[in-house]
Structure 1
Amino acid sequence: MSNVENLIESVGELWNRYVKHEFVLKMRDGSLPLDIFRYYLVQDGKYIEDMLRALLIASSKGPIDKVTKVLNLVFSTRDKGLEIHSKLYSELSISRDEIVKTRYNLINYAYTRHLYYYANLDWNKFLVAWTPCMFGYSIIGDYVVESPHQLYKTWASFYASNEYKKRVEAILDALNEVNITEGLLSIFVDSVRFEIGFWEASLRKDPTVY
């Protein structure tokens, strides 16, 4: 059994609460209100920029072969992600300026600080903190890409793509080299909880505070 399978098994039902959250189910059946999706995209735009910065910080602390492979795949496939997100932003009248100027909701702020914290400590800790986002969205993409709603289908098409799958494979390959301790499991659990919280904050359209 791979490390990611062991980690998911260890968190039990919490994982399903993340990848089959109400937000995800509503994207899949097309019933998610567009104002909620728009709110999510703005917060997610802020998250992605911080996540990539945290990745660059953590990469200076990892094994060069694994780090290089992950970085190459993340940044060489970024154009496809940007292209899809640009379509979504255009459809929902989201500007780059809006993403920059909008404050974080509390969950997003805490989650991104969580990533920065472990990125500054250790590559393995960051990798475990990062995996729920990257691997989870691959599963979610495969599920939501069948949505009858064109916007949600478009959103999912990136996370269901071969380009994204290659990123995830490189991350999971690096993760398999890590000795998973109780401390690392705790970090993984925290990230899964943050992912659940991210969906819930979006459904509620939480106030932006930071």
Structure 2
Amino acid sequence: MKTSEILREKVRDLWEKYVKHEFVKQMRDGTLPLESFRYYLIQDSKYVEVMLKSLMRASSFAPTNQATKVLSSILLTRDKGMEVHNYLLNKLNITHEEIMRTGYNLANYAYTRHLYYYSTKGWKEFLSAWAPCMWGYYEVGKFVIGSPNELYSKWAEFYASEDYKMRVDAILEALNSYEFDENLLKPFSASVRFEIMFWDYSLRREETPFHEIT
């Protein structure tokens, strides 16, 4: 088995809770309250900012060919992703100013710090911490696409797309170039748990008290 497959198999039950979370199921059937989706988009926007900073830091540890392929996969599909993201923000009247003045919820605060920490430890460690987000969203996108709610289906279209799969394939290829190591399980498992928490907090629209990431 490939390293990524071993990691996912070892957290199989958690993985299913993540990709088939109640938030995701409600997106699929169109019953998720728009207020929860709006809350999620704001928190996700804040997450992505730190995720990209973490990626750039971690890539300094990577073999040149891997860093180039992974970064290129992000950059080549960035326009399509931003197009969908901006469409959703506009539809829900979410401004850049609102995103900036909204704090991180506890799950997002912890998750982004977790990613940034592993970006300082090494490339394969970061890949194992990052893969659940990118890989899981491809599965979620395929599950949610076709939702009767136009906004949720639009969101899912990008994550279920070949453009997005290009990102996932590049990340998993890099991760699978390393032999499985039990030390990779801790960041991978923690990220899956953070993803579950991210959905939980968005569903409940938890308070957002944390304004700075250091």
**Fold agreement, TM-score > 0.5:** yes
Q: Please report how far the alpha carbon of residue 148 of structure 1 lies from its aligned counterpart in structure 2 after TM superposition.
A: 1.1
Distance in 1 between residues matched to 2:197 and 2:79, nearest whole Å: 28
Structure 2's unaligned 5+ residue stretches are none
Distance in 2 between residues matched to 1:186 and 1:113, nearest whole Å: 15
Distance in 2 between residues matched to 1:100 and 1:77, nearest whole Å: 24
| Match of residue 61 from structure 1 | 61
Distance in 2 between residues matched to 1:93 and 1:201, nearest whole Å: 21
Residues 1:9 and 2:9 are matched in the alignment: yes
| Match of residue 77 from structure 2 | 77
| Match of residue 190 from structure 1 | 190
| Match of residue 113 from structure 1 | 113
| Match of residue 50 from structure 2 | 50
Distance in 2 between residues matched to 1:161 and 1:77, nearest whole Å: 10
| Match of residue 160 from structure 2 | 160
Distance in 2 between residues matched to 1:192 and 1:74, nearest whole Å: 21
Per-residue CA distance 1:75-107 (angstroms, 9 max, x = gap): 121111110011100110000111111110010
Q: Please report how far the alpha carbon of residue 137 of structure 1 lies from its aligned counterpart in structure 2 after TM superposition.
A: 0.2
Q: What letter matches 1:161 in structure 2?
A: S
| Structure 1 moving runs of 4+ over 6 Å | none
Residues 1:151 and 2:148 are matched in the alignment: no
| Match of residue 136 from structure 1 | 136
Is the Cα contact below 8 Å between 2:6 and 2:180 reproduced in 1? no
Distance in 1 between residues matched to 2:109 and 2:91, nearest whole Å: 26
Q: What letter matches 2:53 in structure 1?
A: R
SS at match of 2:113: helix
Instruction: Report percent identity of matched pairs.
Output: 56
Kindly tell me the number of residue pairs found equivalent between the two proteins. 210
1:31-42 alignment runs, 5 A limit: 31-42=31-42
Per-residue CA distance 1:166-193 (angstroms, 9 max, x = gap): 0100001001111222121111100000
With normalisation by structure 1, the TM-score equals 0.98
The Cα RMSD (Å) is 0.7
Structure 1's unaligned 5+ residue stretches are none
Distance in 2 between residues matched to 1:4 and 1:124, nearest whole Å: 11
